[in-house]
Structure 1
């Protein structure tokens, strides 16, 4: 940086006595970024969250992890080779970071796209988390659409950053650099959207008294895909197992076996026994329409 500039480049701040802090922050965010992708793949493989439904998805996950590792090494070297003493190396590492993080995001967004365009292959709770009646009105497709908006805006910000730097308008270029930094943080929010259906299912399993009948009838109709992916057995110690282990389906089956839920036919109108009517009303077949909506 030469002369007056407002705001200053983050790289110029990192070239001061704050460089150790710059390196440590770059390293920590690299660990969290790569770790998020690794944990996402692991949790889907062990069916803790919605498993993969296409053989392309694990390949995209591996590709995104490899690209993210290369990209995050790039930003780590950006912090190590400061712009004051190693300007050309610094800028080359910035280019590597941008290119490979872009590829990592594209691969990861492809996984969400497959989930969003094939809702009938998803677990019933994931399929039922919808914003409308259209096939692609599920949460995964909405998440994919939001990610596309995010990446298009990021490309525009990066292009403006490079353009203003090239023409020597450093203050304008620095504005877009800081904008990219905060925009980059929104990616974690978009990733968290994919966890909402799993959170819904977990909440239902923790509150069987609320979703006792609805969840039982719904999953009896459609089946739960996750049971096909794991041979986990029901446990009664309250430990945190796969989300389908403590699902309302199994809890209701246990209660049925113990005679706690009486499945009776609807009472005729001439039956004047009020208690009988109350107990029978809860056993009417639930509607086909999904229960959870946003």
Structure 2
């Protein structure tokens, strides 16, 4: 059933994270902006960690665990769905390696968030700061490798606009979070805790939108009466080319809208509308073979590459 699909993982993760942040902020507001023992002299705006180090610590730990577990499941689901063919499959070993590295960094970021929620800033300030760095760095580097994978996928599947949109969303997250994290770190270590606290809350809120960006990746795998999974539609389109039929239906109706392939004309790539650089044969499988696009120079004449 489509409503029990893997696309629910980022939704659960984002809702838990945003709900936890709102609950902690509203609690701090309603009890009159207390000054916690862990706060610096002159600090009047509490860090997230300050609020989560005392009465709301169980909420902080629970929110961190649920958020990271379901986000990691979203990472792993994306990898599995490409392998299983429900999403547009990877076209090279390099893309698969980038995806695996992204998952490993995401797991490291998850460990950082769970540990920093347990080792609170009041009793373990140095460990807390170290795990905070692991959390931010883990997910930031994970986004970089995932962005690299999507950039390579977008080159091969040019008609899949959803891949380009996801790439730009993740690239925006990388740049924005880097700028915000630099401001947070610099103000924190230069004796401006109130400014640093404000930017910490902003960094956390921006992370919510990054989690939700995985809907762009997982929704195309959903099967309904009006929508075929992205990978199935691609395979059907490639089989039409193999049998000499003209493509008549859109490649996929994903969450970014229908993407109609153009007709193949003389001198064009066989898969110019769906996949660039695929050597088509009459034998299965219909998916593209691995193109080791790291360091391999393609030769040819005009647009013909081999």
Name the TM-score class by shorter chain: 0.5 to 0.7
Q: Give the superposition deviation at 1:196.
A: 5.3
Question: Of 205, 209, 221, which residue of structure 2 is paired with 1:182?
Answer: 205
- 1:258-284: CA deviation from partner (whole Å, max 9, x where unpaired): xxxxxxxxxxxxxxxxxxxxxxxxxxx
Q: Could you say which structure has the higher helix fraction? A: 1
Match of 1:91 in 2: 129
User: Are 2:78 and 2:218, in contact at CA under 8 Å, matched by a contact in 1?
Assistant: no
Match of 1:102 in 2: 140
1:191 aligns with 2:214: yes
Rg larger in structure: 1
Distance 1:167 1:216 in 2: 58
Within-5 A mapping of 1:1-294: 1-2=39-40, 5-119=43-157, 127=159, 129=160, 138-195=161-218, 197-198=220-221, 203-205=226-228, 220-221=245-246, 288=263
- 1:189-212: CA deviation from partner (whole Å, max 9, x where unpaired): 322223455459973459xxxxxx
Distance 1:154 1:31 in 2: 21
Distance 2:213 2:130 in 1: 28
Distance 1:37 1:205 in 2: 21
Q: Per chain length, whose mean CA-contact separation is higher, i.e. which structure has more relative contact order (CA < 8 Å, sep 6+)?
A: 2
TM-score normalized by structure 2?
0.60
Unaligned runs of 5+ in 2: 1-38, 230-236, 254-260, 265-271, 274-306
Match of 2:288 in 1: none
User: Are 1:117 and 1:141, in contact at CA under 8 Å, matched by a contact in 2?
Assistant: no
Distance 1:117 1:6 in 2: 50
1:59 and 1:36, CA in 2 relative to 1: closer, same or farther beyond 3 A?
Answer: same
User: Are 2:53 and 2:122, in contact at CA under 8 Å, matched by a contact in 1?
Assistant: yes
Aligned Cα RMSD in Å?
A: 3.3
Distance 2:201 2:165 in 1: 27
Q: Give the superposition deviation at 1:36.
A: 0.7
Distance 2:114 2:228 in 1: 42
Distance 1:116 1:175 in 2: 36
